[in-house]
Structure 1
Amino acid sequence: MPVAGNVAIVGSAATVFGVHHELGYLDLLEDASRRAIEDAGLQNQDVEAAWLSTAVTDVVALEGESGSPITERLDFAPRPVTRVSAYCASGMEAVRNAAISIAAGEYEVVLAVGAEKMRDVTPRGSLVARTGNMTHPTLTKGRTGPGFFALLASRYLDTFNRTTDDLSAVAVKNHEHATRNPIAQYNEPVTAEQVRSSAMIADPLRVLDCTPTTDGAAAVVLASVEWAKKSGRPYAVLSGVGFSVMDGYYSGLYNPENDFLGFRATREASKVAYAQAGIHTPREQLDLVECHDCFTITEILNYEDLGLCGRGEGWKLLLDGATTIGGDIPVNLSGGLQSCGHPIGATGVRVVKEVADQMIGRAGGRQVAGAKHGVAHTLGGPGILSCVMVISAAE
């Protein structure tokens, strides 16, 4: 059977995202996993298989190179555990593969976990070091994440005659949303002036335009919708799932079809997910979106790539208040990556959990009343791959 409409999210949990010098990678992973299983009303032995998302294994002495951390900390042997890595989309790709196993009839109940420990070294010792020291010596010489997305920001602002005030508005909105999210790394509001006066990282992106590096873990338990109905417990349904890989890690930087005004991977993945879920007019049919705001410009581009508005109109959606809590299509009510932080392997699982919680009606002060359909989205690498899921309330 297909995943769409047949696989349910029956349990979930996440650690507080932030700086956890007192906790190790295995501690975070175990905490989220055990609480997700408990949330599903299950025991460890009820879970038949697991998928683990960890992207930056060299920071944690290669823990997470395979699925063995789950085996070790959950006493999971001899059950199968698969490690998944797809850049910043790793977490959602773990969920997608776990869902496929349910749809295939291989298992009844499975676990998808994302965990990352990034703050035991300085930022220059983690992502910057990986990009600068471990990639191709000429094709990516000097390239960083902020540097790449700054190209898109400059291109967008110039093409559509906009200013950095639009970028600041994303940061202000998401930090305000995060005041309602107890697991966010930063849950204090910021002003536009604070964003504009924060240190320049890669022109025009400043510190508060960039997502922080983070420690954290998130987990979801999946089962068939039939199993979920019989359990009598609350659940949400994966009603559409799309995953698209558009280019190579290096070649994508030089593809002449890339206009630096959006990401084809997101457009292709959303096309698949929407078709499966019966979403024809996203802004009208969706109640909320959790998208990949690794940088403020990325959220504006995501509005357009996810079909919430036309190309070059994302800034209008933002400034009209449509994507703010209380708007007609609120985006990143969790605070997004801007405020929650970005433990890379965990982010995608957290995003799925956030939308599922909205569908179940347990998102607390962030709850959208009567929410029926929401989108979870991640973008990976230099925009070369993307996962989009439509998550719906149980009927």
Structure 2
Amino acid sequence: MSSRGIKDKVAIVGMGCTRFGERWDASTSDLVIDAAADAFASAGVEQPEIDAFWLGTMNSGFSGMTLSTALKIDYKPVTRVENFCATGSEAFRNACYAVASGAYDMVMALGVEKLKDSGYSGLTRANPPSDGTATTLTAPARFSLLAPAYQAKYDVSRADFKRAMTRVAWKNHYNGARNERAQFRSEVAEETIAAAAPVAGDLGVFDCSGVSDGAAAAIIVRAEDAYRFTDRPLFIKALAFAAGPGTGTFDPDYDYTTFEEVVRSAQDAYAQAGIESAADDLMMAEVHDCFTPTELVLMEDLGFSARGQAWQDTLNSRFTLTGDLPVNTDGGLKSFGHPIGASGLRMLFECWLQLRGEAPPERQVRHRGKRYGLTHNLGGGPGECVSFVSVVGPEPG
């Protein structure tokens, strides 16, 4: 059963996104200020017009004051949320529902993370006490299990699947090379990707997303008010979130070829938006490519490819800028890195550009009669994760 949803009840009227990367030149507050300022300018509003704020951050602040002190907010409510790697998406989801409920007229969702200052390469967190069943594998090791599992289930050779993983990295770096906000802005030859130093299993250096700092923000209003602020708002068609039971790592029936949380959240989102075929209705999609085999599995969980076919669709260029369904047109996590609180809103920022026809010409996707953009944000690992899917469109109805 799908959520009732809030289709066409709220709209995005302004967005901002900083440059992602090793931002030694900027503090958390600097990134918050820059993303918010761009969003205010985009919507043509002043900060006092915002009724409430939702902040997504994992470890760059532990209360709403992370945002209120940076922006010098005059005693407005600021809600700080965290939901692992889907933290930015969670801030956006909650902000949208607050407007849809009628509680506020105009709100801001902002995600920010400064990972580089932590001194760690990867996620910075302390594991809570557990019953001993929690996996102790690193993230690359956990996601590397997808590759041999997929190969065994669908009778794909190791060499062919490695070529598909390499093509994912090549595609996303190609797109990121054309994005001024990306952390990595160079094309990388497939030969270089395939020959890179190993990290875990068949994952090499270029199969893993980077570590970066960044921030992104969105301003949200009721749909009936949207055209007061811009002639090209984005209307929310679906917001779906699923948290799994976390049993996959010790469930003998889990085969590491799917994320059930992604399947469920995608089904919910499509029902909310009235989408019968993702391939027919989606103009583009931004997905959580934390590792290259993750993107391949997501293509099937999101319904972009038939089961066992994503590796071939990838090699056949179906998901490139000129393909049937362009995926990660901004470069994805592979080119941006993954500042936890910011990634989900960064994905929405790319939809904002693409659906409004404002992406740089060299990576602007043709509409071809398709109406929607999709974002997907994953938090956790295979068999134990949370999943967010949004669908947005440039017109109501």
- TM-score under structure 1 length normalisation: 0.93
Task: Indicate the SS of the match to 2:145.
Answer: helix
- Paired with 2:136 and 2:102, the residues of 1 have a C-alpha distance of 47
CA contact (8 A) 2:83 2:379 kept: yes
Residue type at the aligned position of 1:222: I
- Paired with 2:143 and 2:176, the residues of 1 have a C-alpha distance of 23
Aligned match of 2:280: 284
Aligned match of 1:374: 373
Structure 1 residues 111, 147: CA separation in 2 closer, same or farther (over 3 Å shift)?
A: same
1:143 equivalent to 2:140? Answer: no
Worse overlay, 360-369 or 278-287: 360-369
CA contact (8 A) 2:15 2:43 kept: yes
1:100 equivalent to 2:97? Answer: yes
Worse overlay, 75-84 or 365-374: 365-374
Aligned match of 2:54: 51
- Paired with 1:292 and 1:142, the residues of 2 have a C-alpha distance of 22
- Paired with 2:125 and 2:94, the residues of 1 have a C-alpha distance of 26
CA contact (8 A) 1:377 1:389 kept: yes
Deviation at 1:327, TM superposition (A): 0.6
1:23 equivalent to 2:26? Answer: yes
Structure 1 residues 234, 6: CA separation in 2 closer, same or farther (over 3 Å shift)?
A: same
Which residue, out of 115, 118, 123, partners 2:115? 118
- Paired with 1:67 and 1:363, the residues of 2 have a C-alpha distance of 32
Task: Indicate the SS of the match to 1:381.
Answer: strand
- Paired with 1:31 and 1:10, the residues of 2 have a C-alpha distance of 17
- Paired with 1:336 and 1:43, the residues of 2 have a C-alpha distance of 31
- Cα RMSD after superposing both structures: 1.8
- Paired with 1:24 and 1:82, the residues of 2 have a C-alpha distance of 20
**Which structure 2 segments of 5+ residues have no match?**
none
Aligned pair count reads 384
Matches within 5 A, 1:67-78: 67-78=64-75
Aligned match of 1:154: 148
Which residue, out of 320, 323, 329, partners 1:333? 329
Deviations 1:299-322 (A, max 9, x none): 101100000111111112111111
- Paired with 1:339 and 1:378, the residues of 2 have a C-alpha distance of 16
Residue type at the aligned position of 2:57: T
Deviation at 1:264, TM superposition (A): 0.7
Residue type at the aligned position of 1:353: F
CA contact (8 A) 1:49 1:110 kept: yes
- Paired with 1:155 and 1:104, the residues of 2 have a C-alpha distance of 44
- Paired with 2:129 and 2:120, the residues of 1 have a C-alpha distance of 17
Task: Indicate the SS of the match to 2:76.
Answer: coil
Structure 1 residues 97, 256: CA separation in 2 closer, same or farther (over 3 Å shift)?
A: farther
Deviation at 1:333, TM superposition (A): 0.6
Matches within 5 A, 1:1-395: 2-55=5-58, 57=59, 63-124=60-121, 127=123, 130=125, 136=130, 138-140=132-134, 142-160=136-154, 161-162=156-157, 163=159, 164-248=162-246, 251-365=247-361, 366-370=363-367, 372-383=371-382, 384-395=385-396
Deviations 1:68-95 (A, max 9, x none): 1111111213111111111111111110
- Paired with 1:298 and 1:50, the residues of 2 have a C-alpha distance of 32
CA contact (8 A) 2:238 2:390 kept: yes
Deviation at 1:269, TM superposition (A): 0.6
Deviation at 1:232, TM superposition (A): 4.3
Deviation at 1:154, TM superposition (A): 2.0
- Paired with 1:330 and 1:146, the residues of 2 have a C-alpha distance of 25
Deviation at 1:219, TM superposition (A): 0.5
Deviations 1:42-70 (A, max 9, x none): 00000000111111x1xxxxx42111111
- Paired with 1:312 and 1:179, the residues of 2 have a C-alpha distance of 30
- Paired with 2:44 and 2:34, the residues of 1 have a C-alpha distance of 16
CA contact (8 A) 1:2 1:103 kept: no
Residue type at the aligned position of 2:305: C
CA contact (8 A) 1:252 1:382 kept: no
**Which structure 1 segments of 5+ residues have no match?**
58-62
- Paired with 2:135 and 2:270, the residues of 1 have a C-alpha distance of 38
- Paired with 1:187 and 1:266, the residues of 2 have a C-alpha distance of 29
Task: Indicate the SS of the match to 1:82.
Answer: strand
- Paired with 2:135 and 2:250, the residues of 1 have a C-alpha distance of 14
Worse overlay, 154-163 or 15-24: 154-163
CA contact (8 A) 2:54 2:91 kept: yes
Task: Indicate the SS of the match to 2:215.
Answer: strand
Task: Indicate the SS of the match to 1:228.
Answer: helix
CA contact (8 A) 1:123 1:213 kept: no
Deviation at 1:252, TM superposition (A): 4.0
Residue type at the aligned position of 2:377: T
Identity of aligned residues (%): 37
- Paired with 1:375 and 1:227, the residues of 2 have a C-alpha distance of 23
Structure 1 residues 356, 67: CA separation in 2 closer, same or farther (over 3 Å shift)?
A: same
- Paired with 2:24 and 2:248, the residues of 1 have a C-alpha distance of 36
